[in-house]
Copies of this chain bind each other. A is one copy, B any other.
Amino acid sequence: MAKQQASPEAKSAGATIYSVADHAGVSIATVSRVLQGATVVAETTRQKVLAAVEELGYVPLGAARSLAVRHHEAHGLVLPELSGPYYAELLMGFEARAAELAQSIVLVLTNSRTDLAAAVRQLATRVDAIAVFGSPAISADVVRLLRAKKPVVVIAGEPHDGAETIAAENLGSARELAGHVLGHGRRRALFVGDPDSGPDIRNRYAGYVAAHRERGLDAAEPVRVSLSEADGAAFAQRLLDGEYEADALMCANDELALSIMTTLQDAGRDVPGDIAVVGWDDVMTSRYVRPGLTTVRQPVQELGALAANRLHELVSGEPPRSQAQMLPTQLVVRSSCGCPPTH
CB distance from A52 to the nearest CB of B (A): 15
Residues 112 to 156 of chain A near chain B (Cβ within 8 Å): 112-113, 119, 121-126, 148-150
A269 → chain B closest CB, angstroms? 14
Interface contact B99-A92, CB-CB below 8 Å: no
Number of copies of chain A assembled together:
2
State A65–B65 Cα separation when bound (angstroms).
13
Is A82 positioned at the interface, with any CB of B under 8 Å from its CB? yes
- Nearest CB on B from A11, distance (A): 7
Q: Is the CB of A126 within 8 A of B288?
A: no
Cβ 8 A contact of A91, one of B10, B12, B82, B126: B82
Tell me if A61 is interfacial: C-beta within 8 Å of chain B.
yes
Q: Are B258 and A288 in contact (CB under 8 A)?
A: yes
The smallest beta-carbon distance between A333 and chain B, in angstroms, is: 18
The docked-state distance in angstroms from the alpha carbon of A125 to that of B74 is 12
A246 at the B interface (CB under 8 A): no
A8 touches B289 (CB 8 A): no
Separation of A84 and B284 alpha carbons in the complex (Å): 8
Q: Given A95-B112, A266-B343, A285-B285: A125 and B88 within 8 A (CB)?
A: no
A91 to chain B, nearest CB (A): 6
A323 contacts the other chain (CB 8 A): no
Q: Which of B63, B99, B105, B343 contacts A66 (CB 8 A)?
A: B63
Identify A96's interface contact among B109, B121, B122, B123, CB under 8 A: B109
The one of B60, B109, B290 in contact with A290, judged by C-beta atoms closer than 8 angstroms, is: B290
A57 contacts the other chain (CB 8 A)? yes
**CA–CA, A206 to B109, complex, Å?**
37
Expressed in whole angstroms, the minimum distance between the Cβ of A29 and any Cβ of chain B is 19
A106 contacts B109, C-beta separation under 8 Å? no
With A126-B74, A284-B285, A285-B285 known to touch, is A149 a contact of B59 (CB < 8 Å)?
yes
The A58-96 residues at the B interface (CB cut-off 8 A) are: 59-67, 72, 74, 81-85, 87-89, 91-92, 95-96
* Chain B residues in 8 Å Cβ range of A149: 11-13, 57, 59
Which B residues are in CB contact (< 8 Å) with A11?
Answer: 148-150
**Additional 9 contacts, C-beta under 8 A, given A99-B113, A288-B289:** A8-B162, A59-B124, A63-B72, A64-B67, A67-B67, A104-B122, A104-B123, A288-B288, A289-B289
Q: Which A residues lie at the B interface, using CB under 8 A? A: 5, 8-13, 57, 59-67, 72, 74, 81-85, 87-89, 91-92, 95-96, 99, 104-109, 112-113, 119, 121-126, 148-150, 162, 258, 262, 266, 284-285, 288-290, 320, 343
**Could you give 28 example pairs across A and B, Cβ below 8 Å?**
A8-B162, A12-B149, A13-B149, A59-B124, A59-B125, A59-B149, A60-B125, A62-B66, A62-B126, A63-B63, A63-B64, A63-B67, A63-B72, A63-B126, A65-B125, A74-B106, A74-B126, A82-B89, A85-B85, A85-B88, A95-B107, A104-B106, A104-B126, A105-B106, A106-B106, A107-B107, A262-B288, A266-B343
